[in-house]
Amino acid sequence: MNSGTSDGELAAPGSSGRLSSTSSADKKKEKARVSRTSMILWHAHQNDAGAVRKLLEEDRALVNARDYDSRTPLHVASLHGWIDVAKCLLEYGADVNAQDRWKNTPLADAEGAKKHNMIELLKSNGGLSYGQSGSHFEPKPVLPPLPNKCDWEVDPSELDFSSSNIIGKGSFGEILKASWRGTPVAVKRILPSLSDDRLVIQDFRHEVNLLVKLRHPNIVQFLGAVTDKKPLMLITEYLKGGDLHQYLKEKGSLSASTAVSFALDIARGMAYLHNEPNVIIHRDLKPRNVLLVNSSADHLKVGDFGLSKLIKVQNCHDVYKMTGETGSYRYMAPEVFKHRKYDKKVDVFSFAMILYEMLEGEPPFSNYEPYEAAKYVAAGHRPSFRSKSYLPELRDLTDNCWAADMNQRPSFLDILKRLEKM
């Protein structure tokens, strides 16, 4: 993870050098810790009990590692019902009643996902549904919800725009930083003039329905939406680090280690989206849609699912005829530009373009207008490698990911394995 210091920096001679090397050692330790935390959460998510055990043998403290949302590996295993992973974590002393940022315990997650075997396992190990003080199933009867209301429907009066500022714009409207129940949030607000447009409403509802289902450390967290009053609004967590586009504009090219670390976070989020049998194709993966949790850029999340498509996959080789020219030209796969049939590998192509930009410090074919760049790429051209940070393994990976034949491009699970080796 990027710690704000390039790997090539040397300490100044003398005592200040010793201080500098000490802080550099601390930063390396912190970077390693963040990386191991990501790894155990990822392996828990992938139901890889062997890899989880190996990490715990090396460092027992990882059993209660937490991601940005305060979720532990046991939360992840419980949500998916991965019994072997949960047993391994409990054997190493996992806190069975750890609470995430929404105050959910692993048992609350297992109950919500109806993972009955997991519920039994957690209860037999002292698991509670909600916190240390008892179950979150109230003994007193709960009033039925309002008709046709979802638990994520937000009343606009709860949103405070008094000190808001615009953090993004699009043809649909704008994205504002606002406050919701005292918490900073990002609000995608549909322009009033478009609030009666049938297609805009359809797309907006599609994005809400998609986001409600997503829960992953490398995916921007959906918090709620305003769907029955105007203007229509979609509320997600606010990430104060800004987006990768702005970060690269300020920093220029990244060191190989930072680029790999960033690429791992993006690939983890994308591997989750591409998970069978409900594949979500992002279709607009670009630096502006990759967000930094904070200014030290130690955690990235994939966001903006306005153009995403949820596909029920019959088998993993299904290909879909979808509208061409969806997404941003500069990062667009050739098959999309040519209005050909395409599948989830369009996201792998866009990922290659982002990897290139992180290592080179400038967008692919930056001397071309976006449309012309896409046309040039569709004709078979690819950007040339110039950066010294382009290690042979990274170069091979980029080449594979932007292959003209989408069947030759690796899946995000394969990409992760290759990046982890680096």
Residue 290 · residue 301 · CB < 8 Å = yes
Confidence band for 197, pLDDT divided at 50, 70 and 90: confident
- Output phi, psi for 259, to 5 deg: -60, -40
Whether 285 and 335 map to the same domain: the answer is yes
222 beta partners: 236
pLDDT at 365 over 80: yes
Whether 304 and 359 map to the same domain: the answer is yes
DSSP string, 369-415: -HHHHHHHHHTT--PPP--TT--HHHHHHHHHHT-SSGGGSPPHHHH
The domain that holds 221 is classified in CATH as 3.30.200.20
Question: Among 64-73, 311-320, 329-338, 359-368, which stretch is predicted with the lowest mean pLDDT?
Answer: 311-320
Residue 225 buriedness (CB in 10 A; 0-12 / 13-18 / 19+): buried
Residue 399 to residue 48: CA distance in whole angstroms: 29
Supply the pLDDT for residue 278: 78
pTM above 0.75, yes or no: no
Write out pLDDT tens, residues 72-100.
999 999 988 999 999 999 999 999 999 98
CA distances from 40 to 55, 58, 217, 252, 416 (A): 7, 12, 12, 31, 14
Which DSSP letter does residue 96 get?
Answer: T
209 or 292: which carries more pLDDT confidence? 292
pLDDT at 7 over 70: no
Does residue 131 lie within any of the structural domains? no
Whether 387 and 262 map to the same domain: the answer is yes
pLDDT at 316 over 60: no
Whether 338 and 287 map to the same domain: the answer is yes
26 or 167: which carries more pLDDT confidence? 167
Whether 347 and 403 map to the same domain: the answer is yes
Mean pLDDT of 189-216: 81
Residue 327 · residue 336 · CB < 8 Å = yes
Write out pLDDT tens, residues 280-311.
898 889 999 999 998 888 899 998 876 665 55
Residue 75 is part of which domain span? 30-124
Name the residues annotated as catalytic. 284
pLDDT at 136 over 60: no
- Tell me the percentage of the chain whose pLDDT exceeds 70: 83
Confidence band for 5, pLDDT divided at 50, 70 and 90: very low
Highest mean pLDDT: which range of 136-150, 203-217, 263-277: 263-277
Does residue 150 lie within any of the structural domains? no
Residue 257 · residue 214 · CB < 8 Å = no
Torsion of CA 229, 237, 174, 202, to 10 degrees: -50
Split into its structural domains, the chain has a count of 3
Mean pLDDT of 372-379: 94
Mean pLDDT of 211-235: 90
pLDDT at 146 over 70: no
Residue 173 to residue 221: CA distance in whole angstroms: 20
Supply the pLDDT for residue 43: 92
310 beta partners: 280
188 annotated to a ligand binding site: yes
Does residue 133 lie within any of the structural domains? no
Residue 236 · residue 222 · CB < 8 Å = yes
Whether 368 and 269 map to the same domain: the answer is yes
